[in-house]
Amino acid sequence: MAIHPPPQRIWWNEPIARTEIVWIVIAFLWGLLMFSAMIYWHMEGEQNLSNESYRITPERFAEKANEMVEKYQVREEAGFPVVRPPPGSDVYMIARLWQWWPIIEFEKDQTYRLHLSSMDWQHGFSLQPVNINLQVHPNYDMVVTLTPNEAGEYGVVCNEFCGIGHHTMIGKIYVTEN
Amino acid sequence: MPTFKHRVCPATGLRIHSSAENLIKANAVTAIIFLAVGGLFGLMVALTRWPAVHLLPADWFYLVLTGHGLDVLLVWIIFFEIAVLYFASAILLNSRLAAPRWAWTGFALMLIGAVMTNVAVLQGNSSVMFTSYVPMQAAPHFYLGLILFAVGALIGCFVFFGTLVIAKEEKTYEGSVPLVTFGAITAAIIAVFTIASGAIILVPTFLWSLGWIGNIDTLMYKTVWWAMGHSSQQINVSAHVAIWYLIAAVVLGAKPLSEKVSRMAFLMYILFLQLASAHHLLVEPGISSEWKIFNTSYALYLAVLGSMLHGMTVPGSIEAAQRARGYTNGLFEWLRKAPWGNPAFSGMFMSLVMFGFLGGISGVVLGTEQINLIMHNTIYVPGHFHATVVAGTTLAFMAGTYLLVPLIFQRELIMKGLAKWQPYVFGLGVMGISVFMMGAGTLGVPRRVWDITGADAALKYDYSGAAYLMMGLNGISAIMAALGGFLFIVIIVGSVLFGKRTGDKPLEGLTMTTATKYGSAESIRIPGTVVLVAVFFTSFVLYYFINWKYLAEVWPLR
Residues B427-486: tens digit of each pLDDT: 999 999 999 999 999 999 999 999 999 889 999 999 999 999 999 999 999 999 999 999
Alpha-carbon distance of A91 to A72, in angstroms, equals 10
pLDDT band at A1 (very low <50, low <70, confident <90, very high): very low
**Which 3 state secondary structure label does DSSP give A103?**
strand
pLDDT at B223: 92
Which of B282, B460, B554 minimises the CB distance to A130?
A: B554
pLDDT at position A2 over 70: no
Strand order in the sheet with A103-107: A73-77, A80-83, A103-107, A170-176, A152-158, A123-128, A132-136
In a domain, B218, yes or no: yes
Q: What's the Cα-to-Cα distance from B310 to each of A165, B353, B522, rounded to whole Å?
A: 44, 11, 18
Q: Is A128 in Cβ contact with B463 (below 8 Å)?
A: yes
pLDDT at A11: 80
Chain B residues in contact with A162 (beta carbon < 8 A):
136
In a domain, B7, yes or no: no
Task: Return the domain boundaries, chain A.
Answer: 11-44, 53-176
Which of B182, B452, B554 minimises the CB distance to A131?
A: B554
Nearest CA in chain B to A146: B557
Nearest CA in chain A to B283: A134
Which CATH number does the domain housing residue B448 bear? 1.20.210.10
In a domain, B146, yes or no: yes
Collect the ranges in chain B with pLDDT lower than 70: 1-2, 506, 508
Nearest CA in chain B to A14: B260
Q: Is B446 in Cβ contact with A14 (below 8 Å)?
A: no
pLDDT at B4: 84
Q: Is A39 in Cβ contact with B302 (below 8 Å)?
A: no
Q: Which residues contact A129 (CB under 8 A, 6 or more apart)?
A: A154, A155, B443, B444, B464
Can you count the helices (H) and strands (E) in chain B? 18, 2
In a domain, B9, yes or no: no
pLDDT at position A10 over 90: no
Chain B residues in contact with A108 (beta carbon < 8 A):
none
pLDDT at B221: 95
**d(CA B104, nearest CA chain A) in Å:** 34
Chain A residues in contact with B124 (beta carbon < 8 A):
none
Residue range A148-159: mean pLDDT, rounded: 96
Predicted confidence (pLDDT) per residue in B370-404, tens digit: 999 999 999 999 999 999 999 999 999 999 999 99
In a domain, B356, yes or no: yes
Q: What total number of domains does chain B contain?
A: 1
Q: Which residues contact B256 (CB under 8 A, 6 or more apart)?
A: B179, B245, B262, B313, B317, B520, B521
- Give B368: exposed, middle or buried? Use CB within 10 Å, 0-12, 13-18, 19+: buried
Q: Is A47 in Cβ contact with B373 (below 8 Å)?
A: yes
Nearest CA in chain A to B289: A51
ipTM over 0.90: yes
| B163 phi/psi in degrees, rounded to 5 | -65, -40
CATH architecture label of A53-176: Sandwich (2.60)
**d(CA B508, nearest CA chain A) in Å:** 31
In a domain, B399, yes or no: yes
Q: Is A144 in Cβ contact with B374 (below 8 Å)?
A: no
Q: Taking the CB of residue A145, how many other CB atoms lie within 10 A of it?
A: 15
Residue ranges in B253-297 assigned as alpha helix (H) = 259-272, 289-296
Chains A–B, number of C-beta pairs less than 8 Å apart: 267
Q: Is B286 in Cβ contact with A140 (below 8 Å)?
A: yes
> Residue B230: which domain range?
14-552
Nearest CA in chain B to A132: B374
Alpha-carbon distance of A144 to A150, in angstroms, equals 18
Q: Is B448 in Cβ contact with A130 (below 8 Å)?
A: no
In a domain, B3, yes or no: no
Strand B15-17 and strand B6-8: pairing? antiparallel
In a domain, B5, yes or no: no
Q: Is A39 in Cβ contact with B283 (below 8 Å)?
A: no
Q: Is B551 in Cβ contact with A126 (below 8 Å)?
A: no
Residue type, B338: A
